[in-house]
Amino acid sequence: MTMEEQLKELKLKLEKELSEIKESAELENLRVAYLGKKGSVTELLKGLKDLTNDERKVFGQQVNILKNEASKKIDEYKEILFRKAMDAQIEAASEIDMSVPKMLKRGSYHPITLVQRECEEIFKSMGFNVEDYSEIVNEYECFESLNIPKHHPARDMQDTYYLENGQLLKTQTSAAQNAIYRKYKDALINEGKPIKAIFPGRCFRNEATDACHENTFFQMEGVMVDKNINISNLIFFMKTMLSEVFKRDIKVRLRPGFFPFVEPGFELDINCLICGGSGCPSCKHSGWLELCPCGMIHPEVLKAGGIDPEEYTGFAFGLGLTRLAMMRFGVKDIRDLNSGNLKALDQFTD
Ligand code: FA5
């Protein structure tokens, strides 16, 4: 076969083989087979030495053209294969939700969220509005409007984090009471609509943590104001809420409690469900857990909210939502709830 025929055949063979290639590994083999040290084109170049000077000039040029063309085509093909691979990857990726971490199973609600929602549903079914309130408040909202003037010793029990502008992180959901009274007082006074509201929220206190105390925890405040509201109304709502949450009879006790914004004031404790009442770290070994202080709203607090205490009375309670979640899900240490440890948390939920 003449050199010319060999060139022609090689060119056709290369084009055919290139068109059949599907993967870049095959393409690399082809490059070696044609352009490698022992490749067909390289062999042709080596054969030039046996030709005459004139022949070498002509064919040398043609072999070099073939070599450059082959190299260019192989590069072009490489680019085509790369694009195809990228398209396939993009198509596969579009079926995946990239925002979901690959290793995690489907998320679940935090135990406190679940208990909060349950309580909200219970109170909504009894005609209460659910209100939202900010975590950063001022001293008037958190203390003064609640009958706790500056330098009152009750402030010592609720040290918190103060901002440079004088605002503070709220220590209790009671901080929203004044705003709620002001929001609904006109409807109460002019239309005779009782104020019935709950307001769950995160609270902050600068205090040492243990199995039943956190520096950041949730409470859910509830208030009802109307004519002739009394302690039996308060006890009815407390009992209904607890029996709905626990779906069984729970032993509770009511004892006197001091809060400057209620008169009289009570501490509502529940029998510790972790130890059954025998005493454990979760209940500070007392068998009882302080869950929901409550009482009849102090006349000064109603006055500060624009409501005449001679005409209206009301009750307020401050449910410890985080502690309720502990009891509901059998969480022995309150700190697990803020730990962000999924292994600890997802055992309590589906
Ligand atoms: C109050 O915060 C009052 N504002 C509650 C109140 C509202 C009384 C309306 C009367 C009328 P106390 O500081 O006891 O009260 O907290 C209320 C509940 O929040 C406690 O019973 C407890 O369940 C929960 N709680 C308080 N401190 C912590 C804490 N450090 N960690 C977890 N839960 C806490």
Is the Cβ–Cβ distance between 291 and 270 less than 8 Å? Answer: yes
pLDDT at 242 over 70: yes
pLDDT at 102 over 60: no
Pocket probe for ligand 1: among 156, 216, 259, 321, the residue whose CB has the most ligand atoms within 8 Å is 259
CATH fold group of domain 111-348: BirA Bifunctional Protein; domain 2 (3.30.930)
CA–CA distance from 227 to each of 186, 188, 264, 306, 319 (Å)? 14, 10, 17, 15, 24
| Span 311-337, average pLDDT | 93
Is the Cβ–Cβ distance between 128 and 158 less than 8 Å? Answer: no
Residue 279 Cα to ligand 1 middle (Å): 20
pLDDT at 203 over 90: yes
Higher pLDDT, 37 or 141: 141
Pocket probe for ligand 1: among 219, 225, 261, the residue whose CB has the most ligand atoms within 8 Å is 219
The pLDDT score that the predictor gives to residue 295 is 96
What ligand 1 atom has the least distance to the C-alpha of 173? 4
Residues with CB under 6 A from ligand 1: 172, 174, 205, 207, 213-214, 217, 219, 221, 259, 262, 265, 290-291, 293-295, 316-318, 320, 322-323, 334
Helix ranges (DSSP H) in the chain:
3-20, 24-35, 40-47, 53-93, 111-125, 139-142, 177-191, 231-246, 299-304, 321-329, 342-345
Residue matched to tokens 């972790």: 274
Residue bearing the CA closest to ligand 1, atom 3: 318
The pLDDT score that the predictor gives to residue 287 is 93
The angle subtended at Cα 40 by Cα 35 and Cα 43, nearest 5°, is 95
pLDDT at 12 over 60: yes
Domain boundaries, the chain: 3-93, 111-348
Residue 218 Cα to ligand 1 middle (Å): 9
Share of residues in the chain with pLDDT > 70 (%): 96
| Span 303-315, average pLDDT | 98
pLDDT at 155 over 90: no
Residue 311 Cα to ligand 1 middle (Å): 29
- pLDDT digits 0-9 by tens, 58-77: 888 888 888 888 888 888 88
Residue 257 Cα to ligand 1 middle (Å): 11
Predicted structure pTM score: 0.71
The pLDDT score that the predictor gives to residue 55 is 85
| Least confident residue range of 5-14, 85-94, 213-222, 256-265 | 85-94
Pocket probe for ligand 1: among 169, 268, 323, the residue whose CB has the most ligand atoms within 8 Å is 323
Share of residues in the chain with pLDDT > 90 (%): 51
Residue 320 Cα to ligand 1 middle (Å): 6
What ligand 1 atom has the least distance to the C-alpha of 157? 13
Q: How many CB atoms lie within 10 A of CB 257?
A: 16
- pLDDT digits 0-9 by tens, 34-55: 888 888 888 888 888 888 888 8
Q: How many CB atoms lie within 10 A of CB 289?
A: 21
Strand pairing of 216-226 and 313-320? antiparallel
Instruction: Please give the Cα distance from 108 to 83 (Å, whole number).
Output: 40
The pLDDT score that the predictor gives to residue 103 is 57
| Span 254-280, average pLDDT | 93
What ligand 1 atom has the least distance to the C-alpha of 334? 32
The pLDDT score that the predictor gives to residue 345 is 79
Residue bearing the CA closest to ligand 1, atom 6: 318
Burial call 68-99: b when 16+ CB within 10 Å, e when fewer: eebeeebeebeeebeeeeeeeeeeeeeeeeee
Residue 96 pLDDT grade (very low, low, confident, very high; cuts 50, 70, 90): low
Residue 219 Cα to ligand 1 middle (Å): 7
Residue bearing the CA closest to ligand 1, atom 10: 294
Max avg pLDDT among 15-29, 124-138, 150-164: 124-138
| Span 201-207, average pLDDT | 95
SS3 at position 45: helix
Residue bearing the CA closest to ligand 1, atom 2: 172
Residue 32 Cα to ligand 1 middle (Å): 79
| Span 301-328, average pLDDT | 95
Residue bearing the CA closest to ligand 1, atom 29: 213
